[in-house]
Each structure stands twice: as structure tokens, then as C-alpha cells.
Amino acid sequence: MTPITSLCVYCGSSRGTNPAFFKLAQELGGDMAQRGIRLIYGGGRVGLMGACADAVMAGGGEVIGIIPQHLQDLEVGHTGLTELKVVDNMHTRKRMMFDLSDAFCVLPGGLGTLEELFEVVTWRQLGIHDKPIIVLNADGYWDRLVGMIDGIIDDGFAKPAVRQYFSVANSVGRLFDLLAAPADTQEPDFPERL
């Protein structure tokens, strides 16, 4: 497997209600900096996004943020990054994040995070890419998502192979183990069927 040098992280622009999620974002950012993996993300200074970016920068790592002009105008862009790219719209942002990344990690987040996840999973299903996608399932946050996908499969709207388009990791260490392993030997930490 080609070593991962750039990791796109999708996550909330909010801190959420569980303090463990904020710590998880910081842990991921710190580990990325130690491993020399560049962070590609949505460019925000707030929430889990800001926590991860701050931790990468504090560890001497490289961070590229990509933010649409309308969000920059709301003053949510992070000014302390290696590079902040301001683009015209959300579609351009997501495409640029995709193009600059070797793999994707999904932390807890809201509707925007879900939309980003489903887009890269759908693109993988369609054969547009074969980049690793790993959902970081802190405190079982994504168990409901996995249950929903199981239901979609059970109801005949997707094939069981959908579960092969992304992996689930229960810790930052496990995330990096999955990224380092050849795709055909990965055993993701999928929760039991709900």
C-alpha cells in the first residue's frame, strides 16, 4: 500500500456535548503531526475542526484548510494554518479536499459531516476512487450510522459489499493500523449488527 501522506478529516464545526470527541480530535491531530501526515480539512477554526487543526499545527505538522468564501465571510476561517484556500462554493471545497487527500477519516459531526462521508463512499461505490475511508467510532457515536446502513442492505437498497467501501476504527491507533495495512488484509472494527 502507498504510504498515506495527506489525510482528509471530516468532522463537526461544533464541539458536541461529549468532551471525549474534542479530545479525540486533538489526539488525532497530534498523532498526524508525529507521523508527518498532512491534514486536509474544511478550514474552520471552531469545533472539532479547529481542535484537530490546532493539534497538527502545535505538533509542527502541515495543515491545508479549504473554506468557501461565504463561511470565510462569517469569520470562521482558521488564520493559523500552513495554508488556507478560499474557494467559491461547497462543491469546489469538497472536490479540492478529495483531490489533495490520500485517505479520509470521519470524526463525530453533523449533517455536513454525513454528507461528506456519503459522497466519498458513493464515489468509491461508483469506482471513481479507491482511497481508504475510515470512520472513527468514538464512544459508539457512529453505531447508529452502521445500523442504518445495515437496514438499507436488509431492505434491498444496497448490496452487502457496501460495508467494504469504508472501515470502522474504535481508536486513533487502530485508524493508523488500518491505513498502514494492505486493503485486502484489513479487518475493520464494525459494531455488531444492531
55, burial (CB in 10 Å: exposed 0-12, middle 13-18, buried 19+):
buried
Domains (range + CATH), the chain: 9-179 (3.40.50.450)
**Which residues does 141 contact at the CB level (< 8 Å), separation at least 6?**
18, 21, 108
The confidence score (pLDDT) of residue 158 equals 93
DSSP strands (E only) in 76-177: 83-87, 103-106, 133-136, 167-169
Q: Which amino acid is at 3?
A: P
Q: How is residue 77 written as a grid cell? A: 476561517
pLDDT digit of tens for each residue in the chain (194 aa)?
568 999 999 999 999 999 999 999 999 999 999 999 999 999 999 999 999 999 999 999 999 999 999 999 887 899 999 999 999 999 999 999 999 999 999 999 999 999 999 999 999 999 999 999 999 998 999 999 999 999 999 999 999 999 899 999 999 999 999 999 866 555 555 554 43
Q: What radius of gyration do the chain's Cα atoms show?
A: 16
Environment class of 162 (CB within 10 Å of its CB; exposed 0-12, middle 13-18, buried 19+): middle
Per DSSP, 102 falls in state S
pLDDT value, residue 193: 44
Take residue 2 and report the three cell numbers written for it: 502507498
Question: Residue 35: its pLDDT value, please?
Answer: 97
- Taking the model in full, what pTM does it have? 0.92
Sequence letter at residue 143:
D
